[in-house]
Structure 1
């Protein structure tokens, strides 16, 4: 018999019925209440052959994808190495050597300090993966060496686990219950090593972060000296009053950027950008038509007499105001809707030129209003202090003795990271209510996630699926291997899509918490997304198919948590071994190959790139990593690994495997694919949160061991390990105390900068390692001015052609007042009797900044 005596099943029928009554559907209720056992238990006792069979499919697919990547890497260079070709020359890294596998060793050998040039969030993420790799290599080696032989020897003639569970704690029989003493010792060692690692990393984070932010080059940047202050009283909303108010701060106030009403300017800019796209697209149509008719032996004079110009229905611009609020939305409706009003098409070129002229006049008018001070001011401002120390002191102080005034300040805000809509909300009640509403919606999403997961789970049960939907009976006509692949792979794909949808939904909702910057959104998303993943991808899968069942058990009997974990977690060990292996292979293959972009590049994009400007934007619009939803994924994987490192030590192999592939991909993509500027940079604040999230795995491990030690019964019916259970309970309390102590000790260092510091610290960071995020701000005198007030009407950019049509058009536009119109840097080529054209660009647009 097993050493662990499971508790009696608890009937939650009435509780579930009360929750589901709102749906008033007995069928729906029965569907959701089919089981209260974690789906991960289905893998308990799996044989090695079956496990390998499920992994080989993913391994084969991943290998094919990697081979395709190695082949296409040197063909589609702007797709797989865009930073070597699609960024300014001085920012391009050296391309990787050609060859099928010649990219792997150079990628892995890049020094970690290189990634500091991409920002602290990128640097610390690479460090995070390296740290986890080192930790699981050490802990995994120790636990596998010590515990696997003990687990294998733990069976008896009366009891022995089946399949791969023989290598886990589940194989310990009642006759050999004292073998669990080794698990207690290795658990203590693992927990001690974890805390040593956490403290070491916290010390390193503080030192590196302070060295980075206090380096001479960064300390003198405008961003480091500027403070965003909100809810400023109207009576001091001018430069003189603010300067006087902050006169006590060292260095005083140097400059103030007020936040003015920009809605009208934003609407003008939007119409202007649409107009330039419509104009250049119409010109391309005109040039193509000219070449087509020219090929058919029309003379130039005859062609001009034909008056062939593109006509279209111009878009509709609507202004919608939300009742009882100050919210105003500007909506653009496609022009074809004018057909319903029996309207006539207009000359696309003439319409676009007139809109550009109107925008040029209108935006200048708004700039004059801004300079004269006639635009409405909002109750917030960006205040540049004389030095970084002054800004830091002001940031740490209570700025007003009156409650609700100047109650929030942000330091180091990137100008392109500002959420202007949220910054201009002067009604305090609306954002507060919205914040509570969004928080409630996020909780509901986490709770109800089990419903779509339950439907997806039906796909893995083909007989039940066909019974519910007879129209799918044709599935039985497929070979058995195909049906097995569908039932094993398709649910995983759909779950990944569903998780992606949830992530996008969280990101959308977080915007309506009225966060003022993208970095604030990333920090908030990290907490919520980690909570969602840990609950739904670990706890619910392991313990129960319903979040409500878990919460009900915790509320009714908090002391039963260790028992609940001890009777469920060991059964799910093989599931998570398989889960992580398959996840690693899927991640690696999909992200390296980028099959969606590869297909779109060779099918749809040539038709979407209707002008040189559109093609330039697509090529230079590099991917940006959203770190707020990236860190949590690997925090959850590491937490699962920590939970099972004693219970089933082989889990460390899966964790190391996925971390190695993740490290390879991100070292490659951060250098050659992703944008090197992270506008939502948190300056390393995501990393400490990711480290603290790992405590979730430690707590699960400790609670599970407590339950195991208290439940373990020998062949005489005694409970000889209760003393270990009490010791582990004490360790849990010490861990909680340590967690709180470490958090309180280091937390303030991630929000504030030290005033008293050693020179060695501030000089330790090389100037080459500074993020380029901060380099541009020295060149802008209107750094924190809303970008709509810095807008200039774009210069017309046409591709040169062999008949000089575009050159003549550019000259005509120049003479009509659109200075700078040019054909330089772009050209159009015709083939197949001038029926097919191709646009090529060799430089940026003339108005590119």
Structure 2
């Protein structure tokens, strides 16, 4: 084999990085400029949490200065814990993970760069450009002892990461306990309600369940099949909103024609006094301008395209007159237990400690019965279809879903492998049928191997979370929070396999395809030499993710355009305008968290192989942290509450990066014939496995349950707080009362049991960092929980229907139409209100036919109070 046949082409690692960096910087700068300009004027999209009337005062964020740059300092000074106190535990821990990921990558730079850069750069491996700084630049024939540096650095860095995982799990446990035991969470209905799934038929009886759980039970909701009721409610609502749309359309059309008549010179009084085409009881006011043939109409056939054509307003009134009594009758029948029961039961206990105790006991003497059990599920998050699935179907479905996901991973590997091959396509030009690649200019080749694969991979992976959520519901996950947690796990596996492993293997294999074809026996050595080169793709991937995607998250140009178009041109009714205006976007934990977890996993794996990646990973995670920090504070809302469980899952998933790093180093040392470093890494791998097992054994029960010791301690402390408050002088002013309550709370704090008020010696940062079980314990983190917000008492109807399916408590919709100068809305209200509630308050139609409503108003007619379940 000649030297010419085996020589690899010059690497394009530097040109690839530059070719990716230049366009990405340009795009990011444009995005950032758009954000800086639009943030001043488009407050609804870039700072809705500062003023929206649909938010409670406790949920709002103080506004930032409106200048181009003077907002940066106040934003920087806002503490992350603000998200915990004004939004949710998930939101705060989401930001904390970004920060911890940035710290892990930055510390990796501090550990690896001073040692491995000079070791690699002087390794006599003959590599060029960025490859000089990687493991592949060490000559295994003459510089084998240099591998000890990689082994020892791996020990130090991976050991630090394992400590960080343990430390953050301890922090999470104590913070979660402090938050969930605070009055704002402990007094919620969901905190004392347990969902029992797979309940056997003999126990689908309230009296039987009360005999099992005793006097601690307060309320019981047994789920029933609601298919018939759901269809009735769906049909009722469809006709109601169709009627609302038709009423608004009629009002707009009548006023448009009326305005044309006025513009032609007729006085408004003369136009309004025109002879109607019918009597006052048949909608004659609108009939003065709108002929019968132009009234809103639709067809009764498929998709409204075929079938008999009917007047929409009259037809919907008739349908609602029929459907509303049927719905009310079916709802009463459900409450009376007239539908078939499903194996899902919600049991409300008298206290949070009773609920936690019931969730941790063995409820039934047979396997798979009355289990699994869940505490803290909010009614709005329940996947009602999952409650009807029997236990044996859940087992079958779960394994079927696992098989489907495995098949998807295999299927997705094909296009992802193509992307990985493109990232190193220049190495294939030595193959006879690909010699034309030599003619491609280096700049274009840099874009093709750098930017194009990274963008293609991001688009390819965006489809996966949607499928994963469907899989979660198919296998019987009972709540949207559990669906997100399932998606987080499944999508993380996808990210690791597709974005990392398949791409790395394909990239490495394409880099040495010609050499392997000429000398198959050298496959191990060649892959060991070229595996570090696949890091060049991930440098480009981090650049795209960190700059373009991070600034895109901040700017949300596409989302802003869609919002503007939908609001201005497609929101044609007051309800549609209010809904679009008042509803904030939400973060999908299951699809966002795995992306960033995988970035850290890739950085950890390549830490000792190609340390340069840690720098770009640090920048990427830092930019993501800042972008999401702004969004969490000012833009997004939390609609799904996992009670913080996304955080320990993400932290423990970093073990994947540790194991992959150890396996890769073992493989590289073996291929390089370095027995000393190889033995060191095998020893550390064994230590990692033992550490992982011990960590799970010690902390897993605390991640998901609340301990009885703290439950009892917190309840006794709250009793002391109540006594301190009740001892205040009622004749004093409200402000003085508040001061006494605060002082009383302070005095109570000093009288608490040792578990809440343990004395700690003052310590420096290093001691606090090394001893989280002391300096980040429950008593330390307890003040971080939201304590200045109180829960409104639950109404009788709210408690009655809390854990019934939505269709059971669904009221007849209130139709909302705009008022108009012609008086069409008043007459339509007179006619329609005989069938269904309707109002024209809070919105009016102006002379130009535009809907005008008070955006600052907190309670328009269709406003619904947010209930903290």
* TM-score (structure 2 length as normaliser): 0.79
Provide the residue aligned with 1:57 in structure 2: 23
Are residues 1:98 and 2:44 paired?
Answer: no
In structure 1, the residue matched to 2:686 is 733
Q: 1:355 to 1:67 in 2, by over 3 A?
A: same
Structure 2 unaligned segments of length 5 or more: list them: 1-5, 262-270, 277-285, 427-439, 510-521, 711-754, 758-777, 865-869
| Cα-to-partner distance string for 1:723-773 (whole Å, 9 max, x where unaligned) | 221122111111111111111111111222111233453795348627989
From 759, 784, 807, the counterpart of 2:826:
807
2:134 corresponds in structure 1 to 168
Once the two structures are TM-superposed, the CA of residue 58 in structure 1 deviates from its matched residue by 0.9
For 1:454 and 1:826, how far apart are their aligned partners in 2?
56
Q: Secondary structure at the match of 1:334?
A: helix
Q: Tell me the equivalent position of 1:116.
A: 84
Mapped to 2, the partners of 1:214 and 1:562 lie a distance apart of: 56
SS in structure 2 at match of 1:407: coil
Paired position in structure 1 for 2:414: 451
Question: Relative to 1, partners in 2 of residues 1:575 and 1:456: Cα closer, same or farther, differing over 3 Å?
Answer: closer
Cα distance between partner residues in 2 of 1:274 and 1:773: 37
* 403-412 or 577-586: bigger deviation: 403-412
Aligned to 2:842: 825
The correspondence for 2:230, drawn from 258, 266, 274, is 266
The secondary structure found in structure 1 opposite 2:462 is helix
1:202 is matched with 169
Contact 2:16 2:540 in 1 (8 A): no
Partner of 2:700: 747
Alignment of 1:647-686 (within 5 A): 647-675=609-637, 677-679=638-640, 681-686=641-646
CA shift for structure 1 position 546: 12
Q: CA 1:79–1:315 in structure 2 vs 1: closer, same or farther (change >3 Å)?
A: farther
Q: CA 1:574/1:404 → structure 2, altered by over 3 Å: closer, same or farther? A: closer
1:224 matched to 2:191: yes
Instruction: Tell me the secondary structure at the aligned position of residue 220 of structure 2.
Output: strand
Contact 1:83-1:92 within 8 A present in 2 as well: yes
> Which stretch has the larger CA shift, 442-451 or 754-763?
754-763
2: CA distance between counterparts of 1:113 and 1:296?
A: 57
CA distance in 1, matches of 2:338, 2:658: 59
**2-structure distance, mates of 1:237, 1:151:** 68
Residue 686 (structure 2) pairs with residue 722 (structure 1)? no
Find out whether 1:788 has 2:762 as its counterpart: no
Task: Find the aligned partners of 2:464 and 2:405 in 1 and give their Cα distance.
Answer: 10
Residues 192 and 519 of structure 1: is their aligned pair in 2 closer, same or farther, counting only changes over 3 Å? same
1:496 is the counterpart of 2:458: yes
Moved more, 633-642 or 779-788: 779-788
C-alpha change, 1:767 and 1:416, in structure 2 (3 Å) is farther
| Aligned-pair CA distance for 1:407 | 2.9
Q: 238, 241, 253: which is aligned to 2:217?
A: 253
Contact 2:16–2:447 (Cα < 8 Å) also in 1: no
Superposition pairs for residues 264-343 of structure 1, below 5 Å?
264-297=228-261, 299=272, 300-302=274-276, 304=287, 307-308=291-292, 310-314=295-299, 333-336=302-305, 339=306, 343=307
Distance 2:531 2:232 in 1: 59
In the other structure, the counterpart of 1:363 is 327
Rounded to whole Å, the distance in 2 between the matches of 1:84 and 1:43 is 56
In structure 1, the residue matched to 2:863 is: 848
Give 5+ residue unaligned stretches, structure 1: 1-8, 10-40, 317-332, 464-477, 548-559, 713-718
Range that drifts further, 759-768 or 144-153: 759-768
- What secondary structure, in the 3-state scheme, does the structure 1 residue paired with 2:41 have? coil
1:186 partner SS: helix
CA distance in 2, matches of 1:42, 1:755: 65
Alpha-carbon distance in structure 2 between the residues aligned to 1:774 and 1:534: 42
Q: Look up the SS of the partner of 1:830 in the other structure.
A: coil
Q: Quick one: distance in 2 between partners of 1:262 and 1:65?
A: 48
Q: TM-score, normalized by length of structure 1?
A: 0.81
For residues 210 and 500 of structure 2, the distance between their equivalents in structure 1, rounded to whole angstroms, comes to 53
Contact 1:369 1:375 in 2 (8 A): yes
- The CA deviation string for residues 459-507 of structure 1, in whole angstroms up to 9 with x for no partner, is 88999xxxxxxxxxxxxxx999789757864554343222111222222
Q: Which secondary structure does the structure 2 equivalent of 1:769 belong to? A: coil
Q: SS of 1:596's equivalent?
A: helix
- Structure 1 match to 2:747: none
Which 10-residue stretch deviates more, 722-731 or 766-775?
766-775
Is 1:181 equivalent to 2:148 in the alignment?
yes
Identify the range of structure 1 (238-247 vs 212-221) with the bigger mean alpha-carbon deviation.
212-221
Partner Cα distance (2:422, 2:689) in 1 = 41
Deviations 1:312-361 (A, max 9, x none): 22556xxxxxxxxxxxxxxxx5211xx2xxx3311111122223333321
Partner of 1:583: 545
- Counterpart CA distance in 1 for 2:388 and 2:601 is 40
Q: Tell me how far 1:415 sits from its aligned partner.
A: 0.9
- Write the deviation string for residues 429-462 of structure 1: whole angstroms up to 9, x where unpaired: 4443332222211111101112333566798899
Alpha-carbon displacement from aligned partner over 1:608-654 (angstroms, at most 9, x marks no partner):
21101011112222211121222211111111111122222221211
Matches within 5 A, 1:401-550: 401-425=365-389, 427-453=390-416, 489-544=451-506
SS in 2 for 1:96: coil
Q: Give distance in 1, aligned partners of 2:675 and 2:441.
A: 53
State the distance in 2 between where 1:77 and 1:97 align: 12
Preserved CA contact (<8 Å) 1:210 1:762: no
Moved more, 695-704 or 368-377: 368-377
Which has the larger displacement, 180-189 or 99-108? 99-108
Matches within 5 A, 1:556-705: 566-675=528-637, 677-679=638-640, 681-705=641-665
How far apart are residue 580 of structure 1 and its match?
0.7
Q: CA deviation at 1:576?
A: 1.5
Aligned residues, how many?
747
Distance in 1 of aligned mates of 2:323 and 2:784: 42
Change in 2 beyond 3 A, CA 1:200/1:334 = same
How far apart, CA to CA, are the structure 1 residues paired with 2:485 and 2:197? 20
Separation (CA, whole Å) in 2 of partners of 1:291 and 1:597: 33
Note if contact 1:216-1:762 (Cα within 8 Å) is conserved in structure 2.
Answer: no
For the residues of structure 2 that align with 1:785 and 1:565, how far apart are their CA atoms?
59
Flag the 1:405–1:699 CA change in 2: closer, same or farther, 3 A: closer
Inter-partner Cα distance in structure 2 for 1:450 and 1:396? 41
Q: Distance in 1 between matches of 2:9 and 2:72?
A: 35
- Which whole-Å CA distance do the structure 1 matches of 2:450 and 2:504 have between them? 18
| 2: CA distance, partners of 1:204 / 1:768 | 13
Q: Secondary structure at the match of 1:193?
A: helix
Q: Call closer, same or farther: CA 1:771–1:519 in 2, change over 3 Å.
A: farther
Seen in structure 2, the aligned counterparts of structure 1 residues 767 and 660 have a Cα distance that, compared at 3 Å, is closer
Q: 2:181 aligns with which of 206, 209, 214?
A: 214
Distance in 1 between the 2:112 and 2:453 partners?
33
Distance across 1 between alignment mates of 2:415 and 2:646: 30
Deviation at 1:542, TM superposition (A): 1.2
- The 3 A distance-change label for structure 1 pair 389 and 314 is farther
| CA drift at 1:47 | 5.0
Q: For the structure 1 residues 522 and 295, does the alpha-carbon distance in structure 2 shift closer, same or farther, using more than 3 Å as the test?
A: closer
Distance, in Å, in 2 between the alignment partners of 1:630 and 1:182 is 36
Cα 1:355–1:564 shift into 2, 3 Å: farther
What is the CA–CA distance in structure 1 between the aligned matches of 2:244 and 2:531, rounded to whole Å? 62
